Chain A
């Protein structure tokens, strides 16, 4: 098997999700990585610890035009004779993987959550996390887009030589006019720990207790749909069916009742802690741990107890 993994390094860094995709590829076959953007060679160096035999880097193609990225990735797939092409199922993966699939007539498995079985079948997330689908690809080539944080990141050592790669990709059809960056330290889609809150917090002025706990844990902050709809929190923090879906190791939800639409965005989390004054809140049925209590009382206590634990270790 010859595998090509596309990773997005536009921010100049290699993310944990990218390391996951490279390691996933290396467990399938001999893996080449293709990437674009202004990224330092030293940053790409680490890919050799996760199974990259070769890294092809293009510093001129910007990410905004999915058709240019498609040409770059298709050219790389031809150069290395790849039969499996892997993406992370994130914003860039969703824009580019379907194009690459249609271009190469290579069946696309989106939202994979496990390595391919011996018969080639791959487990995916369907019905907004309420079921799994076992998918088979019938074409000679295949494209897999991997759900972030769904598979174990294995360290595998390989050559990892970095080469410049500049195939013909045409001119961009999409022009970027402006970029608005989000505030905050930890990216929600990358976060292993997430602290989230809903209407139970009663107003945006009360988010200090959520942010304090997130800071202690090194967690990202998130919120429910009503909270972003009424403008207490920015839209990019909204997790759920219409917002973003996340799969952190720990999801702490305070003052969120747990409607089915909210669960669709978080039910892939490994451990869910629910804090709610209402013992009948539906979220308790989806939780691993629960506290029937007031977020204003419980969140500061939790923060103190975690600080105590951190002081011990």
Chain B
């Protein structure tokens, strides 16, 4: 079974969010970058678990410049066999998905996994676009996956519950909480990652369909209004007459 895991570089969860160049670019000064947690904890680790029990290989793919290589090495340290970097600034989701789909089609992967979304742009777009461009089924927000031959059984969230579905390879999925648990790379993994193959491929031509023209920070939250625990009637009064939400 050949697994392809999409890995994205994102600012650490606790980073200060700030913008430069007239609010058109994310301010990277002093920011630590990590593997997008959903790509790492859920997509990559589940692919590794299935490879370990069923055999096969796990390849990671990242669309990004050479500065993304430290996070790619982290994914290799966790256990991926090899990595591919498409040497381009990741434009919009369509550009990125197009690069991944072209590579996945050319190399006949059985399962393509992404995290449910990236924690910076929160688009949840890549998986669905890759599936459409490859012409395969797409399981969005999968929380469990098992494989039996070429048939996968997955659990996915649905409105008001969960759904258990079956699908044949090849297919694409986005992984959500429940799929796997975080793995901390050990020293052997970190050492091995240094020499694992990291192939750099030039992008195929593709135009962006969208772009961010600027960013804004939300208005400062005004000071919390504290109400005494012995005067809850006042809280209800504020919610009813001032906030008008009840």
Interface residues of A (CB under 8 A from B): 8, 10-11, 63-67, 70, 89-92, 94-103, 105-111, 121, 123, 125-139, 173-182, 187, 189, 193, 217, 235-236, 238, 241-243, 249-250, 260-261, 267, 270-271, 273-274, 284-294, 297-298, 301-302, 304-306, 308-309
Question: Taking the nearest CB of chain A, how far is it from the CB of B220, in angstroms?
Answer: 10
Give the most central of A64, A94, A187, A309: most B CB within 10 Å.
A94
Contact (Cβ within 8 A) A138 B224: no
A217: chain B residues at CB < 8 Å are: 246
Contact (Cβ within 8 A) A127 B120: yes
Where chain A touches its partner, the secondary structure class is mixed
A98: chain B residues at CB < 8 Å are: 93, 97, 124-129, 132
B161: chain A residues at CB < 8 Å are: 179-182, 236
* Chain B residue nearest in CB terms to A260: B14
Question: Taking the nearest CB of chain B, how far is it from the CB of A105, in angstroms?
Answer: 7
- A121–B95 Cα distance when bound, in Å, is 20
Contact (Cβ within 8 A) B132 A70: yes
User: Is B232's beta carbon under 8 Å from chain A?
Assistant: yes
Contact (Cβ within 8 A) B212 A134: yes
Contact (Cβ within 8 A) A136 B213: yes
Contact (Cβ within 8 A) B246 A127: no
B163: chain A residues at CB < 8 Å are: 64, 176, 178-180
Which of B127, B141, B218, B225 contacts A290, CB < 8 Å? Answer: B225
Question: Taking the nearest CB of chain A, how far is it from the CB of B53, in angstroms?
Answer: 21
Interface residues of B (CB under 8 A from A): 13-14, 17, 19, 37-38, 92-94, 97, 119-129, 131-133, 136-141, 153, 157-168, 171, 174, 176-178, 207-218, 221-222, 224-229, 232-233, 235-236, 238-240, 243, 245-246
The 9 closest A-B pairs by CB, nearest first: A98-B128, A293-B229, A107-B209, A95-B140, A107-B210, A102-B132, A173-B137, A99-B132, A102-B129
B123: chain A residues at CB < 8 Å are: 108, 110-111
- A304–B236 Cα distance when bound, in Å, is 10
- A305–B229 Cα distance when bound, in Å, is 12
Where chain B touches its partner, the secondary structure class is mixed
* Chain A residue nearest in CB terms to B137: A173
- A121–B210 Cα distance when bound, in Å, is 10
* Chain B residue nearest in CB terms to A303: B232
B17: chain A residues at CB < 8 Å are: 127, 130-131
Contact (Cβ within 8 A) B212 A135: yes
Contact (Cβ within 8 A) B160 A99: no
B119: chain A residues at CB < 8 Å are: 127-128, 241
- A292–B216 Cα distance when bound, in Å, is 32
Cβ contacts A to B, 27 pairs, < 8 Å: A64-B165, A67-B132, A91-B157, A94-B128, A94-B140, A95-B140, A97-B128, A98-B126, A99-B131, A102-B94, A102-B133, A103-B132, A107-B209, A110-B122, A111-B123, A127-B119, A127-B120, A127-B122, A133-B212, A179-B162, A187-B160, A193-B246, A273-B239, A289-B243, A291-B232, A292-B229, A309-B240
* Chain B residue nearest in CB terms to A235: B178
* Chain B residue nearest in CB terms to A216: B246
Which of B97, B167, B215, B225 contacts A133, CB < 8 Å? Answer: B215
Contact (Cβ within 8 A) B245 A289: no
B120: chain A residues at CB < 8 Å are: 126-127
Contact (Cβ within 8 A) A306 B13: no
* Chain A residue nearest in CB terms to B123: A110
Contact (Cβ within 8 A) A108 B93: yes
A235: chain B residues at CB < 8 Å are: 177-178
Contact (Cβ within 8 A) A126 B210: no
Question: Taking the nearest CB of chain A, how far is it from the CB of B117, in angstroms?
Answer: 8
Which of A101, A123, A249, A285 contacts B221, CB < 8 Å? Answer: A285
Give the most central of B17, B133, B174, B236: most A CB within 10 Å.
B236
* Chain A residue nearest in CB terms to B171: A173
Contact (Cβ within 8 A) B210 A177: no
Contact (Cβ within 8 A) A66 B128: yes
Which of A67, A103, A177 contacts B166, CB < 8 Å? Answer: A177
Which of A94, A105, A243 contacts B209, CB < 8 Å? Answer: A105
- A127–B165 Cα distance when bound, in Å, is 31
- A136–B210 Cα distance when bound, in Å, is 6
Known pairs A95-B138, A130-B218, A305-B233; A174 contacts B166 (CB<8 A): yes
A293: chain B residues at CB < 8 Å are: 229
B37: chain A residues at CB < 8 Å are: 242
B246: chain A residues at CB < 8 Å are: 193, 217, 250, 306, 309
Which of B122, B140, B177 contacts A126, CB < 8 Å? Answer: B122
